[in-house]
Chains A and B, each alone.
With several copies, the nearest count.
Chain A
Amino acid sequence: MAQALNTALHDAMGADDRVVVFGEDVGKLGGVFRITDKLQQRFGEKRCFDTPLAESGIVGSAIGMALYGFKPVVEMQFDGFTYPAFEQIVSHLAKMRNRSRGRVQLPVVIRIPFGGGIGAVEHHSESPEAYFTHVAGLKVVSPGIPSDGYSLLRESIASPDPVLFFEPKRRYWLKEDADLPVTTEPIGTAVVRRQGTTATLFAYGPMVRTCLEAAQAGESEGWELEVVDLRSLNPFDAETVVASVRKTGHAVVVHEAQVFSGFGAEVAAQVAERAFYSLEAPVLRVGGFDIPYPAAKLEEFHLPDVDRILDAVDRSLAF
């Protein structure tokens, strides 16, 4: 995955010299996860550069650079350090096209390594996506597999509207046999990663892989679990989601974020509204508990895993 993302950046910068990459430590160091590795070496300090340590500054100046005509791809070093930029994202980045009655566009991509599972210290394992799915004017995407990492990132950079690109950091080391460049399904499309009939698991980013593992494990129960990779949280592909629930009648939505008021609630609400008579049980939500992200040694108890997912399937089927 990390390599696919790095290649996407290389290719995007190679293809369009208005694409610039900046953020904390993205230059010489190549980013703490090396996602921007060798960009500065190859494209020079004008195209890939380090900024002072200030996230509001990074996003706010990206807005200005986009107004000028560049296509900034900026990095928030970790999920938990996105918050200082909240104001610039919510009040400006998301709204400027609308505020200007369509006269301004801001093709900015904010890359955010997110989620837990790597034993990190506090503030390095957050899942803040729901704060942003509620913001009109933003697109919010998260790849679950490397080929999508490449393709969604290229499409995000090409997007005339701002995109928050959530990278599942625990899947940076995930491998996939894929020839790059690759073009997968467009933003706004959910994809059925595994067909099934017993129940549907909905996930995005890091939990796609976990759900696939759960589906596999579910076979021993005689379950045929369908796995839908949402990929694009906003815009949301209600059609694919509903089609799956029509088929299976049971839905479990899985994310790492705390469940209360999380994105799973939106999925549950949409499914209920759009597939009410197909549902044989309410959409169940599996996620982190409603607590601050815990310390490294305890994260395994907090994070959804195969067992917790299968337990939810069980409860859904027994409803």
Chain B
Amino acid sequence: MVTAPLPPDPAALLPPPEPVQVLDDSGTLHEVDGFPLDLKDEDFRNLYRYMVLARRVDKQAINLQRQGQLGVYASLLGQEAAQVGGAYALDEQDWVFPSYREMGAALVRGVDPSAILHLFRGTWLSDHDPMATHFGLLSIPIATQALHAAGYAMGAKLDGKDLVVMSYFGDGATSEGDAHEAMNFAAVYDAPCVFFVQNNQYAISVPLSKQTKAPTIAHKAVGYGMPGYRCDGNDVLASYAVARKAVDRARAGEGPCLIEAVTYRMEAHTTADDPTRYRTPEELARWKARDPIARFETFLTAEGLLDDVFRAEIDEEAKAYAARIRAELYDAPHGDPLELFEHVYVDPPASYAEQREQLRRELAANEAGA
């Protein structure tokens, strides 16, 4: 019978039964076999800093939306640890392909939050430079960015470049055909691509139990012949440690993998959503008790890494971020409407001249009318 040889221990294909947790719910550290922490004090502080900044920026964004300054906004509240921990494992040259909820990852990667928020304000479709920041455009059509990530990683692999790609998407996204095709392509080409799923339990109103019958999302990796890892996504150290391992493997040429960070979306799906229609206050309270920042604070304080000076420093920085965002976004004017014709083609069709002229006339007429 001609078949492929199976690995010696088939059960090794499966994700471990329990998610990796480094900080337990009470904030005590337990290193986990196979997922060593290589973090210095500096790094612990940085992780904390990014999480706090992310939360502050998030809050500012929600406020701006309430004030009518953003059209809509998708909050990351509760997911700071997963996003920050994951992205912190990347190097300068690496790339991130995000969904629309990755403000935390954006901060870690040095993307200006205002640029991201211009998308939600609708000043332009997107306003950061993916090429300079190695942070792809926020992708709204679910799971589509996973294929761009796989392709980018295939490119890096073909080119022999030392580079890892991380693609973020949600639990709901795993149901789309594109997520499947992306994981399969990455696996077949051994591409250095880490698929980082933030399982925040919901796709808008649809709970995970209606999304899949898989025991866990990490189990989906088995079908692509790649490792599936799980971590406590409200534990920044676990999220980091698992991402660290995944990124190192990929960088070493061992191919892609899937990470499921188990977390919870504390806010509405977006500012347009009403979650009271589909989830209970009790559920919310249970997860609130597992707040990722509070847990990390307990640990840092116990370790003597978090004193009032540092807190004040971060607080200042957070305020400055928020102020810059307000200054940049509040009543921000839209660009020149004629720019609409600028970026569709390098080499626009002749008809663009006519259409541009029509818009110019309309603008002039409005001006005259006003």
Residue numbers of A with Cβ under 8 A of B are 20, 24-25, 27-30, 32, 46, 50-54, 56-57, 59-70, 80-81, 83-84, 87-88, 91-92, 95-105, 119-124, 136-137, 139, 160-161, 188, 234-239, 260, 289-292, 294-299, 301-302, 307-308, 311
Contact = CB atoms under 8 A, between A and B. Distances in A.
The 9 closest A-B pairs by CB, nearest first: A64-B151, A296-B122, A60-B147, A68-B155, A235-B349, A61-B151, A57-B181, A297-B334, A52-B175
18 contacts: A51-B185, A60-B144, A60-B181, A60-B182, A64-B152, A64-B153, A65-B152, A66-B151, A100-B343, A104-B137, A120-B71, A137-B345, A161-B346, A235-B349, A289-B355, A295-B122, A296-B122, A308-B358
A64 B71 contact: no
B342 interface: yes
A25 B175 contact: no
B351 A296 contact: no
A315 B187 CA distance: 58
B4 interface: no
Contacts of A105: 346
Interface in B324-370: 334-335, 337, 340-352, 355, 358-359, 362-363, 365-366
Interface string B143-172: 010111111111110110000000000001
A79 to B, nearest CB: 11
A218 to B, nearest CB: 16
Contacts of B247: none
Contacts of B147: 56-57, 59-61, 63-64, 88
A92 B142 CA distance: 12
Contact of B277 (A29, A83, A100): A29
Interface residues of B, number: 82
B132 to A, nearest CB: 8
Given A235-B349, A295-B122, A65 B137 contact: no
B32 interface: no
A60 B148 contact: yes
B159 A68 contact: yes
A65 B341 CA distance: 26
A56 B140 contact: no
A294 B342 contact: no
B60 interface: no
Contacts of B141: 80-81, 83-84, 87, 91-92, 123
Contacts of B205: 25, 27-29, 50
Contacts of B348: 235
A84 B178 contact: yes
A100 B137 contact: yes
Contact of A57 (B121, B185, B342, B347): B185
Nearest to A302: B340
Interface string B3-47: 000000000000000000000000000000000000000000000
A292 B212 CA distance: 34
Contact of A104 (B131, B156, B172, B335): B131
B63 interface: no
B137 A99 contact: yes
A97 B345 contact: yes
A54 B152 contact: no
Contacts of B334: 295, 297-298
